């Protein structure tokens, strides 16, 4: 069931009708859970039993960790000596830690087994070919990465003192919630559980916001990202025939496609959730206007960055153990982030590159703190523009590894970014026959797209302006009609479904 389809619209309206027609919270949770199972069954029916078992396992493990946290204080149990109480507390903490590690191990093992076992076998034992990469993708449960990350976050939060839920229905509805199940945003259980308990009636503002987010996301994905994706696929699918200018255009087009594709999905997810009275976290905050790589990661895939900070970076020591260890921690975290996206070496290099960039940024910050003139330079307009150019150049060129994780292909692109001419027929086949546009016009369109994003950035972040709800409701049908009219035939898949 595609998010941008009449079928999804009818499905959403049907579920909303049932959801708001019942008053009891338990019935609403059942509605969400059953609807989510139906939604997932439309994509991958055979993995539903596995996911339900994993949800139950994490639920029970969370209860065990939470129940172990109820050890009576010593002043309430004088039957124990002071020494006996400390021994009991030690055993209690050790058992909780073992349970936590059991949960982390199982979830990570599941993720590694589905996503990386076969690629690793083929890498270390090339003579053993179990199946092709394409057929392997088909057996990976959709959303498994987001699923396991949320489970690990829940167990760690309970271990740190957050209350474990006693209601399996509530936990299952949270985990299976169809609007965020496949590609996030990564949402913490306790945030959503509190919203379940405090649902209010929908207001015109909330309904307008939800519909506007869905309509805006449909435009981002259905019109902008999919049209860019056609050119990107044509160019990166014909590397031997593309010239340097074509590769640069495809690199920038892919950066925009990836952002619009993923942020469009998140907009639809957040808009759908709002119609259920639930607020999902934002996942993007104009990342292509960042002036440092650290700022980029505060704005790009925000919930993943938050997860990496809270459950990897801080446990590794964060920035509390000196500059050298801080840089090492940043590299380790981003290396893991690269591996999380896929088993190919291109993802590993992408993560390592971003880790090194973050480490260099931290070192630059430390040096700037010692030299007042240098620190002032980065705060001046020229320094800000230079920082923005360097940041975006690093980000966009690193997307080459992301789009072409096979090192042979990505290396070919890097080697041909300068001084190579396209095949004589390439321009005719791609720009004229397929796109009906010239290379120069495509470049202008990318600039216009970025200027439009800059306008939205100024409108939202600088001027702090928002459309009121009647205006949003006017734009909603216009957006849907534009998607129906202008979206290319055969919708391209959501890129992050593979992750």
| Residue positions annotated with a catalytic role | 341
Compute the CA torsion angle 119, 125, 126, 128 (nearest 10 deg). -90
Tell me how crowded residue 163 is: count the other CB atoms within 10 A of its CB: 12
Lookup: tokens for 489: 């035939």
209-243 b/e (C-beta count within 10 Å ≥ 16 → b)? bbbbbbbbbbbbbbbbbbbbbbbbbbbbebbebbb
In sequence order, which residues have a C-beta less than 8 Å from that of residue 267 and are 6 or more positions away?
213, 214, 216, 217, 220
Cα(272)–Cα(209) distance, integer angstroms: 10
Q: Which long-range contacts (CB under 8 A, 24 or more apart) does 385-391 make?
A: 387/291, 387/292, 388/289, 388/290, 388/291, 391/290, 391/291, 391/292, 391/293, 391/295, 391/296
């Amino acid at each position: 069931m595609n998010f941008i389809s009449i079928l999804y619209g009818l499905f959403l309206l049907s579920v909303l009708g049932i959801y708001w027609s019942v008053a009891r919270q338990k019935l609403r949770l059942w509605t969400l859970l059953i609807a989510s199972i139906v939604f997932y069954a439309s994509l991958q029916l055979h993995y539903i039993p596995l996911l339900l078992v994993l949800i139950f396992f994490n639920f029970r493990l969370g209860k065990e960790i939470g129940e172990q946290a109820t050890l009576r204080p010593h002043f309430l149990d004088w039957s124990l000596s002071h020494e006996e109480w400390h021994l009991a507390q030690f055993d209690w903490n050790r058992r909780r830690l073992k349970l936590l590690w059991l949960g982390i191990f199982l979830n990570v093992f599941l993720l590694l087994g589905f996503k990386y076992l076969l690629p690793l076998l083929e890498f270390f034992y090339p003579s053993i070919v179990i199946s092709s990469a394409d057929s392997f993708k088909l057996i990976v449960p959709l959303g498994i990465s987001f699923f396991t990350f949320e489970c690990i976050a829940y167990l760690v939060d309970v271990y740190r003192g957050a209350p474990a839920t006693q209601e399996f229905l509530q936990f299952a509805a949270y985990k299976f919630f169809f609007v965020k199940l496949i590609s996030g945003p990564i949402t913490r259980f306790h945030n959503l559980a509190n919203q379940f308990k405090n649902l209010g009636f929908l207001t015109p503002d909330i309904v307008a916001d939800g519909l506007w987010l869905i309509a805006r996301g449909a435009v981002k994905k259905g019109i902008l990202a999919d049209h860019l994706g056609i050119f990107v696929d044509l160019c990166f699918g014909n590397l031997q025939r593309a010239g340097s200018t074509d590769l640069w255009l495809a690199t920038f087009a892919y950066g925009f496609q990836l952002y619009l594709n993923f942020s469009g999905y998140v907009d639809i997810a957040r808009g759908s959730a709002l119609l259920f009275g639930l607020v999902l976290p934002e996942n993007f905050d104009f990342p292509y206007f960042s002036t440092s790589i650290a700022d980029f990661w505060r704005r790009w895939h925000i919930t993943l960055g938050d997860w990496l900070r809270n459950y990897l970076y801080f446990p590794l020591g964060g920035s509390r153990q000196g500059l050298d260890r801080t840089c090492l921690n940043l590299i380790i975290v981003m290396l893991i982030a690269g591996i999380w996206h896929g088993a190919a070496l291109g993802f590993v290099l992408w993560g390592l590159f971003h880790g090194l960039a973050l480490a260099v940024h931290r070192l630059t910050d430390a040096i700037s703190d010692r030299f007042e003139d240098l620190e002032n330079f980065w705060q001046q307009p020229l320094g800000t523009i230079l920082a923005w150019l360097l940041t975006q150049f690093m980000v966009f060129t690193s997307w080459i590894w992301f789009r072409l994780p096979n090192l042979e292909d990505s290396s070919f692109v890097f080697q041909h970014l300068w001084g190579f001419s396209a095949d004589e027929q390439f321009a005719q086949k791609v720009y004229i026959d397929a796109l009906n546009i010239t290379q120069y016009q495509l470049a202008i369109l990318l600039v216009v797209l970025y200027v439009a994003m800059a306008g939205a950035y100024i409108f939202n972040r600088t001027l702090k302006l928002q459309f009121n709800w009647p205006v949003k409701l006017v734009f909603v049908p216009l957006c849907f009609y534009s998607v129906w009219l202008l979206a290319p035939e055969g919708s391209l898949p959501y890129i992050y479904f593979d992750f």
